[in-house]
Structure 1
Amino acid sequence: MKDERTRRQFIRDVSLLSSSAVLGASMPWLKAMAGETQAGNGASDRVRLGFVGVGDRGRALLLNCQQLENVEIAAVCDNYEPHYQRAVELTNGKAKAFYDYRKMLDEADKLDAVIIATPLHEHAHITIDFLNSGIHVFCEKSMARTLEDSKAMTLTANRTGKILQIGHQRMFNPAYLKAYERAASGEIGQITQIRAYWHRNNDWRRPVPKGRPELERKINWRMYDEYSAGLMTELASHQIQVANWFLGETPTRVMGSGSICFWKDGREVYDNVACVYDYPKGVKVIYDSVISNRKYGLEEQIMGHLGTIEPEVRKIYSENPPPAPGFLQLINNLEKDIFETIPIGGASWVPETAVQYKGEYLVEDYQYDDTLLEMEGFVLAVRNGRPYPGLLREGYNATVAVLLGLQAMQENRIIEWPEEYAWKKNTELV
């Protein structure tokens, strides 16, 4: 019941947000979602889902979908035996189980939509096959391993008229939605830089069954360039999507550097990356990620001349914070006079340390799961048979951006956004 109230509160908040002309234009998926019915209790309204890939992420998505009303998990598929058995257990044997997604395609008339959570290099051909079979698709981020595959997925969705939604759940996160609203209202002024980072401290390596070395690349696909773009597609794609969304633009070019500086275990993908994206009007987005230190975790710091937003911690900070209450202000003034007087060097020696103002919260700390909200949005779109405007564009542009970032690192040069992959300039992609 708590989850249900949370979702209803979210839908109500979405309705309020999308009522603004500016926000409705900037987040058309919310406007569409808020305007559609949540009803769906008739037998004909049941949404029948298939799952292809039931690893860690696929399992999480399946568990979320099991919480939704009038949704049937009708089919599951995984070609790795432990995951296949997991899928059968999670659905209590009620879903039809497959080792090969092409067998699931033979029964496409029994499915309304499919959730794809396979290794990255498998996304494109599976997505395209289902779209061509008349099935709506939710595909985990990033879209694909290559620019060509990402474009092919998009063109197929456009041609078939079927939903293709990419897994960027921050667009359904109440803290991010409120952050966007306050940024769009001008509260932090002109955004001039976004700093984003995602740091962990683990090797990403998963154990391979003893005596089965042939499973190394299947299990640890994130380690190999053929299958994955590593930190860029696994982590950066979320945060570059946020940057594109808040700026309302895509980068014009990117430079970067990557290395394997700690986990020297035969992997091919970087464990340390840093990129600078150039956006129109001179705005920079600076991104870095390591998996050998987790102190700073993850965050996007959206910086304008009037303030800063940090959506992960749900905080907004003014450049001109309100003064402390009278007594505290008196103490602060006394301390400033005592400790900031530097008789030798003068005022220029006072260090510009970080501002200690703790900011204000964007939203209350209520319980919500943005992946659950995202999946509810997808199911609602399937029930109504219409894709949400803007969502595919966000997923596509984020994927192109991170793949260009990887290319810049691998080729050690500045990479311009190619015209043939520009959404706004390519009528096939709009």
Structure 2
Amino acid sequence: MTDKTFDLSRRAFLDRALLATAGSVMAGATPWVALAAGAQTAGAGRVRLGVIGTGDRGRALIQNIAKTRNCTVAAICDSYAPNLGKARQWVPAGTPEFADHRAMLDARGLDAVVIATPLDMHARHTLDAFDAGLHVWCEKAMARTIADCGAMVTASQERGKILQIGHQRMFHPTYLNALRRVKAGEIGTITQIRASWHRNNSWRRKVPADSTDRRINWRLYRESSAGLMTELATHQLQVGNWFLDAVPTRVMGSGSICYWKDGREVYDHVALIYEYAGGRKLIYTSLLNNARYGCEEQIQGSKGTIEPELGRIYQEVPPRALALERMQADVQRGHKRTIPIGGATWFPELPVTTPGESLGWGEYDETMLQFEGFGEAVRTGKPLPGLLRQAYQASVASLLGEQAMDGGQALAWPTSLVTI
């Protein structure tokens, strides 16, 4: 792909994002999109980012940052040397490298940091960056505890620094178009969302001789992760809150180490119900030994269903009339037709298989637009409106779900959360 081709596809991507949010209702619901799409070009000077954590996810972020018009990677940091070595190919030659994040912060020359470290390190790295006078983009979930999530938000507010969390679906044209159509009333009143993220692998990685299991497989241990809830569910809980325009009133659920009996501490199988005002519900499942249904959300309303992960919208199909009901209607109209004696009087209510309508697709990773928005926020000193609140509430929901499963009882939404 040439620079010219990329520029054209980038504009098409931004055009679709803006089209999906057109209108006063959507402008109020997604005010960050226009700001992100209006990011200044490189001529205004790129925002200098230091990336803390250059594992698989960190390297993917570095590649997306390279596509932006207003950001550049000015330093990389990882306490594990092999990760730094793999990241070199994605940054300009001579980019400073650090094994300790504090050394990178002390070296100056940065405007903000990008945090892609294990979950239990997010709060410490964020607070240290704020202490150094820098803005922060941090991977989701926010932190390992609800208290640490709140501490990150409070520090951002007190220091006047940007804190943006990596929920890229809020910048995805397909999801934005889905939200626009929901707000336009196309699927009626939403009463239930079903979401799932199913995989068929253990998540366990091979441990090199120069490292340890808990360092490489940190997602499998309670001290550093909530497993499926923080690594996967956070994304879809954010989508649920977003489309229902609310936070849950309470959550109940069950979790188990059901299949992978390999010494892990986090659940490999979870099933939860999040209740919202008015009796609405989000039903969430995630497991690691069957990938048939993969990652999906089914947003169900009285007039239709939207599945943004699959990029489809479906209208409700009227139920088929039973034979006896058709005969009664025929008699009332004086209409005659053959009556199938012994024919079926009941039809199994199987899933509807109509093809639906496309919601449209983005051409490449929406993480690029997410970073352009962050760069614009850093330049202006103003956070993109509403993003941090969405991220904070999604992280709280995921960690509250973990607590509900651990305790085997329904838990109410906390009343002592930080106000954003």
Note if 1:103 corresponds to 2:99: no
TM-score normalised per structure 2: 0.90
How big is the shift at 1:357?
1.1
Structure 1 window deviating more from structure 2 (196-205 vs 17-26): it is: 17-26
Tell me which of 408, 411, 417 is aligned to 2:407: 411
How big is the shift at 1:120?
0.2
Percent of pairs identical after alignment? 52
The residue type equivalent to 1:91 in the other structure is V
Tell me which of 13, 16, 21 is aligned to 1:13: 16
How big is the shift at 1:92?
4.5
Paired position in structure 2 for 1:143: 142
> Taking structure 1 as reference, are residues 74 and 277 closer, same or farther at Cα in structure 2, changes over 3 Å only?
same
Paired position in structure 2 for 1:161: 160
> Taking structure 1 as reference, are residues 366 and 270 closer, same or farther at Cα in structure 2, changes over 3 Å only?
closer
> Taking structure 1 as reference, are residues 356 and 341 closer, same or farther at Cα in structure 2, changes over 3 Å only?
farther
* Kept in 2: contact 1:19–1:31 (CA 8 A): no
How big is the shift at 1:72?
2.9
* Kept in 2: contact 1:51–1:58 (CA 8 A): yes
> Taking structure 1 as reference, are residues 17 and 315 closer, same or farther at Cα in structure 2, changes over 3 Å only?
closer
Paired position in structure 2 for 1:28: 31
How big is the shift at 1:418?
1.2
Distance 2:277 2:39 in 1: 39
* Kept in 2: contact 1:194–1:303 (CA 8 A): yes
How big is the shift at 1:269?
0.3
* Kept in 2: contact 1:77–1:87 (CA 8 A): no
How big is the shift at 1:29?
1.3
TM-score normalised per structure 1: 0.88
Note if 1:227 corresponds to 2:224: yes
Distance 2:30 2:290 in 1: 35
Measured against aligned partners, the alpha-carbon deviations of 1:245-288 in whole angstroms (never above 9, x if no partner) come to 01110001000000111110000000000000001111000000
Tell me which of 378, 392, 396 is aligned to 1:396: 392
Structure 1 residues without counterparts, runs of 5 or longer: 322-339
Distance 1:255 1:366 in 2: 35
Structure 1 window deviating more from structure 2 (166-175 vs 83-92): it is: 83-92
Paired position in structure 2 for 1:332: none
Distance 1:312 1:411 in 2: 32
Note if 1:300 corresponds to 2:297: yes
Distance 2:280 2:32 in 1: 26
* Kept in 2: contact 1:199–1:290 (CA 8 A): yes
Paired position in structure 2 for 1:68: 68
Note if 1:286 corresponds to 2:289: no
Match of 1:115, SS state, is strand
* Kept in 1: contact 2:193–2:281 (CA 8 A): yes
Distance 1:24 1:402 in 2: 28
Note if 1:367 corresponds to 2:366: no
Distance 2:79 2:386 in 1: 33
Note if 1:114 corresponds to 2:113: yes
Paired position in structure 1 for 2:199: 200
Match of 1:407, SS state, is helix
Structure 2 residues without counterparts, runs of 5 or longer: 319-338
How big is the shift at 1:294?
0.6
Distance 1:383 1:2 in 2: 27
> Taking structure 1 as reference, are residues 253 and 8 closer, same or farther at Cα in structure 2, changes over 3 Å only?
same
* Kept in 2: contact 1:50–1:76 (CA 8 A): yes
* Kept in 1: contact 2:73–2:91 (CA 8 A): yes
Distance 1:27 1:342 in 2: 57
Tell me which of 372, 378, 384 is aligned to 2:380: 384
The residue type equivalent to 1:132 in the other structure is D
How big is the shift at 1:383?
2.9
> Taking structure 1 as reference, are residues 31 and 70 closer, same or farther at Cα in structure 2, changes over 3 Å only?
closer
* Kept in 1: contact 2:39–2:373 (CA 8 A): no
How big is the shift at 1:107?
2.2
Where in structure 2 are the equivalents of 1:210-221 lying within 5 Å? 210=209, 215-221=212-218
Match of 1:420, SS state, is coil
Measured against aligned partners, the alpha-carbon deviations of 1:346-373 in whole angstroms (never above 9, x if no partner) come to 52x321111121101011x452211222
Measured against aligned partners, the alpha-carbon deviations of 1:68-108 in whole angstroms (never above 9, x if no partner) come to 23533211100012112223343254211111101111123
Paired position in structure 2 for 1:38: 40
The residue type equivalent to 2:72 in the other structure is E
> Taking structure 1 as reference, are residues 291 and 37 closer, same or farther at Cα in structure 2, changes over 3 Å only?
closer
Distance 1:384 1:6 in 2: 26
> Taking structure 1 as reference, are residues 131 and 341 closer, same or farther at Cα in structure 2, changes over 3 Å only?
farther
Distance 1:196 1:351 in 2: 24
Paired position in structure 2 for 1:331: none
How big is the shift at 1:14?
3.6
Paired position in structure 1 for 2:180: 181
> Taking structure 1 as reference, are residues 295 and 411 closer, same or farther at Cα in structure 2, changes over 3 Å only?
same
Q: CA RMSD in A?
A: 1.9
Paired position in structure 2 for 1:57: 57
Paired position in structure 2 for 1:330: none
